[in-house]
A and B are shown apart, each in its own frame.
Chain A
Amino acid sequence: MSKKITRREFVKDTGVLVVSISVVNRLPRLVASQTAPEAGSAILRSVAPEELDSWLAIAQDGKVTLYTGRVDIGTGVETSYAQIVADELDLAFEHVKVIMGDTGLTPDQSKSTASTATSMAAQPIRIAAAEARQVLLNLASKHLNTPVGELTVNEGVISLRDDSSKKISYGELIGGKRFDVKLKVLETGMWGPKLAGTAKPKVPSQYTIVGKPIPHVDIPPKVTGSYKFVHDVRVPGMLHGRVARPPALGATLLRVDPDSVRHIPGVRVVHKANFVGVVAEREEHAIRAAGELRCAWSKWSGLPDYQDLYQAVRTAPLIERRSRDEKGDVEAALQGAVRSAKATYHYPVQLHGMIGPSCAIADVKDGGATIWSGAQWVQGNRYDIAQMLGLSPEKVRVIWVAAAGCYGRLSVDDAAHDAALMSQVVGRPVRVQWMRHDEHGWEPVSTPMVMDLLAGLDARGNVVAFDFEGWSSSHSSGERGNSVAWRLLGTAPGHKRLSGGVGDHPYNFPNRRVALNYVQPLFRTLYLRAPGGLQNNFAIESFMDELAAAQGVDPIDFRLRYLEDARAVATLKAAAQKFGWDSRPSPRKGAGGSGVATGRGVSLAWQSIGEYAVGQRVAMVAEVEVHRDTGRVRVTRAVVASDCGLIINPNGLQQQVEGAVLQGISRVLMEEVKFDRSKVTSLNWNSYPILTFPETPEVEVVLINRPDIPSSGIGELATIPTGGAVANAIFDAIGLRLRQVPFTPDRVKPTLG
Chain B
Amino acid sequence: MRLVLEVNGRSHTVDVEPDTPLLYVLRNDLQLDGPKFGCGLAQCGACTVILDGQAIRSCVTRVSAAQGHQVMTLEALGTLNRPHPLQQAFIDEQATQCGYCANGMIMTAKALLDKNPHPTDAEIRQALAGNLCRCGTQPRVVRAVMRAAEMVGR
Contacts and interface: CB of A to CB of B under 8 A. Distances in A.
Given A220-B83, A223-B90, A355-B44, A660 B101 contact: no
Overall SS of chain A's interface: loop
Interface of A: 8, 12, 73-76, 215-216, 218-229, 231-232, 234, 282-284, 353-357, 402-407, 433, 435-436, 651, 655, 658-663, 666, 684-686, 690-694, 696-699
Given A216-B94, A284-B21, A694-B125, A225 B132 contact: no
A205 B148 CA distance: 38
Given A229-B36, A436-B38, A684-B43, A355 B132 contact: yes
B96 A686 contact: no
Interface of B: 16-17, 20-21, 24, 27-28, 31-34, 36-41, 43-44, 46, 73-75, 77-81, 83, 87, 90-91, 94-103, 106, 122, 124-126, 128-142
Contacts of B77: 224-225
A244 B58 CA distance: 24
Nearest to A661: B136
Given A220-B91, A658-B136, A685 B98 contact: no
A447 to B, nearest CB: 20
Contacts of A661: 136
A742 B79 CA distance: 42
A662 B136 contact: yes
7 contacts: A219-B90, A223-B90, A284-B17, A436-B38, A655-B94, A658-B136, A691-B138
Contacts of B39: 436, 684-685
Given A685-B43, A694-B129, A225 B135 contact: no
B74 A655 contact: no
B84 to A, nearest CB: 8
B101 A355 contact: yes
Nearest to A698: B139
A685 B38 CA distance: 10
A284 B20 contact: yes
B100 A405 contact: yes
Given A223-B87, A223-B106, A226-B79, A355 B46 contact: yes
A93 B28 CA distance: 36
Contacts of B73: 225
Nearest to B74: A225
Contact of B43 (A12, A221, A229, A686): A686
B80 A12 contact: yes
A404 B98 CA distance: 6
A658 B142 CA distance: 14
A12 B139 CA distance: 30
A229 B128 CA distance: 23
A637 to B, nearest CB: 12
Q: Across the A-B interface, give the 10 residue pairs with the lowest CB-CB distance, nearest first.
A: A662-B136, A74-B98, A222-B99, A405-B98, A659-B136, A225-B34, A404-B100, A74-B97, A225-B74, A696-B138
A693 B131 contact: yes
